[in-house]
Amino acid sequence: MIPALSHQQLRDTCTALSSAGLIRLVSEIDDHGAIPVCGLERALADLSTHQIRQAIEQADALGLLTRTSGSVGLSAAGRDLADVYDATARWARRHNYPAPLCHFAGRIQHTFALLVTPATDTRDSDGEHDAELGRVQRLLAEWVHTHQRNCNTCGVAA
């Protein structure tokens, strides 16, 4: 059984993994496969060159990328993080969080922020809301313990 993250670990992890650029980079590669380095700006057209560079540096520091001749793909840690992002976005869509219409990265950012905020929402009296959110938190803890055990970069460490 994977131990839960401390509140500080959870906050640090959510902060480190909430960058819009990182979310877009990981998700784009997960959805479409490795991206040629020369095609990053085209694939991530909604991000500035600076944001793309920051996302690549952060993804490299977290061990999320693999590099082949002229392209970047996802490592096992990157693929597993993409799965965490997908599960998080599914939870947010199912609960219209933070709003019925929101972009993918925004749903993840808001849900990660919710994970580190004391529970104050009682919309769902049967507990399904909290139980599903707890599953997202467990997936995140599993990702940290599996892939970041010896990594202190960007504030993420098991």
CATH at residue 71: 1.10.10
Give me the pLDDT at residue 1, please: 73
Please tell me the predicted confidence (pLDDT) of residue 148: 80
- The DSSP 8-state label assigned to residue 120 in this structure reads -
Strands 35-36 and 71-74, sheet pairing: antiparallel
Residue 89 belongs to some domain of the structure: yes
Count of C-beta atoms within a 10 Å radius of residue 100:
7
**pTM, rounded to two decimals:** 0.88
CA distances from 78 to 6, 28, 34, 107, 122 (A): 23, 11, 12, 19, 34
Total structural domains in the chain? 1
CA distances in angstroms from 82 to 69, 77, 125, 126, listed in the order given: 23, 9, 30, 29
Whether 2 is in a domain gets the answer no
Residue 73 lies in a domain: yes
d(CA 62, CA 152): 9
State the residue range of the domain holding 61.
7-155
What pLDDT is recorded for position 153?
A: 45
- The verdict on residue 110 lying in a domain is yes
Q: Which residues of the chain have pLDDT under 50?
A: 122, 125, 150, 152-154, 158
* Residue at 1 is within a domain: no
- Give the residue among 17, 3, 7 at the shortest CA–CA distance from 151: 17
Q: What is the pLDDT of residue 150?
A: 46
Q: What is the pLDDT of residue 86?
A: 97
